[in-house]
Structure 1
């Protein structure tokens, strides 16, 4: 009886102390988010691809804010 209690305690300890893993995100959601990011950073390509949401936007490709946004988002998708 004592061995059963020790065994149950060890099982509870092993499964109760597991670290939570990252939230599971579907690959479709990741690709959709990436496509929206790509359209936002390159509005001309977005317009050529049929997305007219960025027709009135011109990206400032050499600004520091634009470059920092690229670094942050590419790191996120990496």
Structure 2
């Protein structure tokens, strides 16, 4: 495949998400290119089976890029 086509059709890197219940305990993991649309999913740095059924460690969550924070703030105003 020519380099230009390879660049255009390059797959998005997979990101890791954890689903938290109402108490903040990890219930499931998911890897996908885009954030899940359903509520309760947070992006995490890695997938550790030991987190299932427990609260996530403070350093597990991936911070949102500034543009997403600005967009969420604009929507709430």
* TM-score with structure 2 setting the length: 0.25
**Larger RCO: 1 or 2 (CA < 8 Å, sep 6+):** 2
**Larger CA Rg, structure 1 vs 2:** 1
